[in-house]
Chain A
Amino acid sequence: MEYIDPHIHMVSRTTDDYETLARMGCVAMSEPAFWAGFDRGSVESFRDYFRQLTQFEPKRAAQFGIKHYTWLCINAKEAENVSLSREVIAMIPEFLSEPNVLGIGEIGLNKNTKNESTIFLEHVDLAVKYNQQILIHTPHLEDKYQGTRMILDMLMGDSRIDRSRVLVDHVEEHTIEAVLENGFWAGMTLYPVTKCTPQRAADMIERYGPERLMANSAGDWGPSKPTAIPDLIMELKRRGHSRELIRRVVYDNPVAFFSQSRQFVPLENS
C-alpha cells in the first residue's frame, strides 16, 4: 500500500533508508525542522540546515521516487535562546518560496517554559503573516499533557488561526481528544518507548475514527523506526480493518492536509 510519512527527519538517516522506505511503499514525506542533537551556535547554522532541507534532501529522496517536503522553524528545545530564535525567525522568509516548503514547523514546547512559549507565539505570527500552515511538536513524556494544553490555549486564543491548517503532532491517549474536539489535525507518532506503538495508534483510530488523524514515524537520530507506518498498516490489516480506512489514515489524510499549502503538488503530477 502506498503511504505518506508526514513527520520524519531524514537528515539523520542514511540514503539506504530512503531506498528501504521506497520499497515499503512510501511515496512522499514531510520533514519538519528539528533539534540537531546539540544546540546550534548561530543563525548561519540554521541557514545551512534550511538549505539542506530545501535543496539536498529533496534530491536524495527523488533518487528513489519519493517526494520530499519540509517545514521550517527553530525547534522548541533551542527556542529557550530567545535572541538566536528571533534571528532564525527573521531569516525563515528567505526560504518560504522554496518548492518543497509546506509551512512553519515543528514549533511547540519542550519543557513548557516562558521563553519557549514566547518564541512559539512569534512563530505563529510568522505563519499568519505569510499564510503558512503550522506543524506542532508536543512535549515528551511527563511534559506532554501540560505542554499540549498550553499550546492549545495559545492557538485557541488567536482568532487568526485556521485550525484546519494546523497539525498537532505526537498526540497520545491523554491529549488526542482535546486536539480533535477543537478542530485541529492530530498526528500519532510511532516511536519506541517515549511515544506511541502501532497497536496503541490502531486503538486510537478505532476509538476516534480516521477524521483529521494521521500517523508518522518521526524517524530521527535516536532509536527509531522509519518503517513504522508499514507496521501500523499491518496492525490495522491484522485487526480486519478495511483498505479504505487504512488508506485514509496513511495516504488520503496527509494529502488532504498538505494540499492546503500552495507548494504541495498532487502526487500524480509529481
Chain B
Amino acid sequence: MSTDHKPHRRPAEEILADEFLQARSRILDLAAFLDRLERAPGSTEQESRMRLLADGLEILCDDEVGKARRVQLLMSRDYDPAWQKKYGIH
C-alpha cells in the first residue's frame, strides 16, 4: 500500500493500559444487552440476527487476525460478480 509514511507504533502493553477500561465497558454493554433480551417476554432465539451476533462474538474470541474486517463481512450481504449481467447493465 503506502510507502511514504512511518507511522508511530505504540507497544501492545501501552494500548492495553490505555484502552482496557473502554474494552471492559463495551463487553459490559453487550452483556447487559444480552441480559435484557433474556429478561424480556417472547423469544429471539430463532432470529437470524441472533445468529449473526453469536457468530460475531466467536470471531472476537478466535485466534485469527483481521477481526474488524471479518465482523464487517459477516454482517454484509453477499456480492455477486455476475450482478451486471443480471441487471442488464454494462
Checking B5, B66, B88 against A210 with a beta-carbon cut-off of 8 angstroms, the contacting residue is: B5
Bound-state CA distance A211–B18 (Å) is: 27
| Stretch of B28-36, B39-47, B56-64, B77-85 with 4 or more beta carbons under 8 angstroms from chain A | B77-85
* B79 x A239 contact (CB < 8 A): no
Asked if A242 is at the interface (CB within 8 A of a chain B CB), the reply is yes
Query: In the complex, given contacts A114-B88, A114-B89, A207-B1, what are 13 additional A-B residue pairs having Cβ atoms less than 8 angstroms apart?
Result: A114-B87, A141-B75, A142-B75, A142-B76, A142-B77, A146-B77, A146-B79, A153-B84, A172-B72, A174-B76, A211-B5, A239-B8, A245-B5
Interface positions of A from 99 to 157, Cβ below 8 Å from B: 112, 114, 117-118, 121, 141-146, 149-150, 153-154, 157
Minimum CB–CB distance from A257 to chain B (whole Å) comes to: 16
Interface size on A, residues (CB 8 A): 37
Asked if A209 is at the interface (CB within 8 A of a chain B CB), the reply is yes
* A121 x B89 contact (CB < 8 A): yes
Asked if A17 is at the interface (CB within 8 A of a chain B CB), the reply is no
A-side contacts of B78, CB under 8 Å: 146
Given A208-B1, A209-B1, A209-B2, A143 and B7 touching (CB < 8 A)? Answer: no
Asked if B21 is at the interface (CB within 8 A of a chain A CB), the reply is no
* B79 x A145 contact (CB < 8 A): yes
Asked if B9 is at the interface (CB within 8 A of a chain A CB), the reply is yes
| Interface of A (DSSP majority class) | helix
Given A117-B87, A150-B83, A211 and B76 touching (CB < 8 A)? Answer: no
Asked if A206 is at the interface (CB within 8 A of a chain B CB), the reply is yes
Interface size on B, residues (CB 8 A): 27
* B89 x A209 contact (CB < 8 A): no
Minimum CB–CB distance from A97 to chain B (whole Å) comes to: 31
A-side contacts of B5, CB under 8 Å: 209-211, 245
Minimum CB–CB distance from B19 to chain A (whole Å) comes to: 8
Q: In the complex, which residue of chain B has the Cβ closest to the Cβ of A211? A: B2
Asked if A173 is at the interface (CB within 8 A of a chain B CB), the reply is yes
Asked if B24 is at the interface (CB within 8 A of a chain A CB), the reply is no
